[in-house]
């Protein structure tokens, strides 16, 4: 079962989360013919989005999105607070498969941008830019937390052709340990221990085994697994919204040539057939372009 599992180091101001994905990644990548490296990178994005979403209290949707100018044009993972996930990669069609081998994230995106967007109930949508300052997605996100939130954070992501797993460990604001030097020491110790974890250990070891092995001297409380599943949030309305964002002129010319438009959801493959009349109805029902 795909899951997200929280834990705390009881005697330190440190929390963490482990995400394990298999079925949801299989569903997501099964609909597309991605090169192996992209499958794994997409797995990392979805895992990271879940880890990020667990660091904030919210009801809604978090999107981790990379827009690139290189062989990757778009890489996107969307997760909800309820554990629904979906994601896609859009690649440069002319790029040969060899283009994706042995490249770090920065090279694959070639001067692109990485953003986190949170759409939460009762709050304004907000977006932050994650500087592409590290070689890997995990490194970029660690420095993002350090800079934007001033929170010491450790992130490790591990993937293979069928699994994506990630661990996040984060220092909480001072509660138990008030002395700054002791806090720093404590964090450094935990970080050094955490960084000894290998990819295979992260993917194969049961959560309790893994954590007790890594932090043998710590009292660790592990909470129950939260299930995660692939669930597409597409609908006729959202599809119509995407159509409307094309603009009136382009839409009019599309409907001149076709009585109805066939649209495939990129995330789940569902086919939508939208004619001009339906579109008008959906518009009058109050949808807005997004
Ligand atoms: Zn869909």
Return the closest-CA partner of residue 193 out of 157, 218, 172, 162. 218
Average pLDDT over residues 241-266: 84
Compute, in angstroms, the gap from residue 288 CA to the centroid of ligand 1: 19
Compute, in angstroms, the gap from residue 89 CA to the centroid of ligand 1: 14
Compute, in angstroms, the gap from residue 289 CA to the centroid of ligand 1: 17
Compute, in angstroms, the gap from residue 237 CA to the centroid of ligand 1: 12
The string of pLDDT tens digits covering residues 93-124 is: 888 878 888 888 888 888 889 999 999 998 89
Q: Return residues with CB closer than 5 A to ligand 1 (ion).
A: 232, 234, 265, 267-268, 270
Compute, in angstroms, the gap from residue 267 CA to the centroid of ligand 1: 5
pLDDT of residue 279: 80
Average pLDDT over residues 249-265: 85
The string of pLDDT tens digits covering residues 184-218 is: 999 999 999 999 999 999 999 999 999 999 999 99
Compute, in angstroms, the gap from residue 266 CA to the centroid of ligand 1: 7
DSSP string, 181-206: HHHHHHHHHHHHHHTT--HHHHHHS-
Top pLDDT among 288 and 285 is at 285
Q: How many CB atoms lie within 10 A of CB 10?
A: 11
Compute, in angstroms, the gap from residue 240 CA to the centroid of ligand 1: 13
Compute, in angstroms, the gap from residue 127 CA to the centroid of ligand 1: 23
Distance, in Å, from the CA atom of 192 to the CA atom of 226, rounded to the nearest integer, reads 28
Distance, in Å, from the CA atom of 171 to the CA atom of 250, rounded to the nearest integer, reads 51
Under the banding of pLDDT at 50, 70 and 90, the label for residue 286 is low
Tokens, residue 99: 């283009």
pLDDT of residue 290: 46
Distance, in Å, from the CA atom of 239 to the CA atom of 232, rounded to the nearest integer, reads 12
User: What phi and psi values does residue 39 have, to the nearest 5 degrees?
Assistant: -55, -45
pLDDT of residue 289: 47
Domains, in order of start, for the chain? 3-230 (3.55.30.10), 236-284 (3.90.1280.10)
Distance, in Å, from the CA atom of 7 to the CA atom of 153, rounded to the nearest integer, reads 14
pLDDT of residue 238: 85
Compute, in angstroms, the gap from residue 91 CA to the centroid of ligand 1: 19
Q: Tell me: pLDDT of 288 over 70.
A: no
Q: Give the predicted TM-score (pTM) of the model.
A: 0.92
Return the closest-CA partner of residue 68 out of 113, 121, 126, 20. 113
Compute, in angstroms, the gap from residue 6 CA to the centroid of ligand 1: 29
pLDDT of residue 22: 97
Compute, in angstroms, the gap from residue 90 CA to the centroid of ligand 1: 15
**259 class by beta-carbon count within 10 Å (0-12 exposed, 13-18 middle, 19+ buried):** exposed
């Amino acid at each position: 079962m795909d899951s997200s599992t929280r834990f705390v180091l009881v005697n330190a101001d440190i929390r963490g989360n482990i995400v394990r994905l298999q079925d949801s990644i299989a569903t997501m990548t099964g609909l597309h013919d991605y090169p192996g490296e992209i499958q794994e990178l997409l797995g990392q994005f979805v895992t990271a989005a879940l880890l990020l979403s667990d660091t904030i209290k919210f009801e809604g949707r978090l999107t981790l999105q990379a827009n690139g100018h290189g062989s990757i044009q778009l890489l996107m993972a969307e997760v909800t607070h309820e554990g629904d996930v979906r994601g896609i990669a859009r690649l440069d069609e002319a790029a040969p498969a060899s283009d994706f081998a042995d490249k770090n994230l920065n090279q694959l995106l070639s001067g692109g941008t990485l953003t986190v967007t949170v759409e939460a109930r009762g709050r304004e949508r907000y977006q932050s830019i994650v500087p592409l300052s590290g070689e890997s997605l995990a490194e970029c996100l660690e420095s993002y937390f350090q800079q934007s939130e001033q929170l010491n954070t450790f992130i490790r992501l591990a993937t293979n052709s069928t699994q994506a797993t990630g661990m996040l460990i984060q220092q909480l604001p001072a509660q138990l340990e008030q002395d700054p030097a002791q806090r720093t020491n404590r964090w450094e110790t935990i970080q050094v221990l955490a960084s000894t974890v290998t990819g295979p250990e992260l993917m194969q070891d049961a959560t309790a085994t893994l954590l007790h092995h890594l932090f043998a001297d710590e009292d660790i409380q592990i909470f129950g697994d939260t299930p995660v599943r692939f669930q597409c949030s597409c609908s006729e309305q959202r599809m119509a919204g995407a159509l409307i964002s094309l603009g009136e002129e382009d839409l009019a010319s599309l409907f001149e040539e076709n009585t109805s438009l066939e649209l495939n959801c990129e995330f789940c493959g569902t086919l939508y057939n939208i004619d001009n009349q339906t579109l008008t109805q959906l518009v009058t029902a109050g949808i807005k372009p997004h």
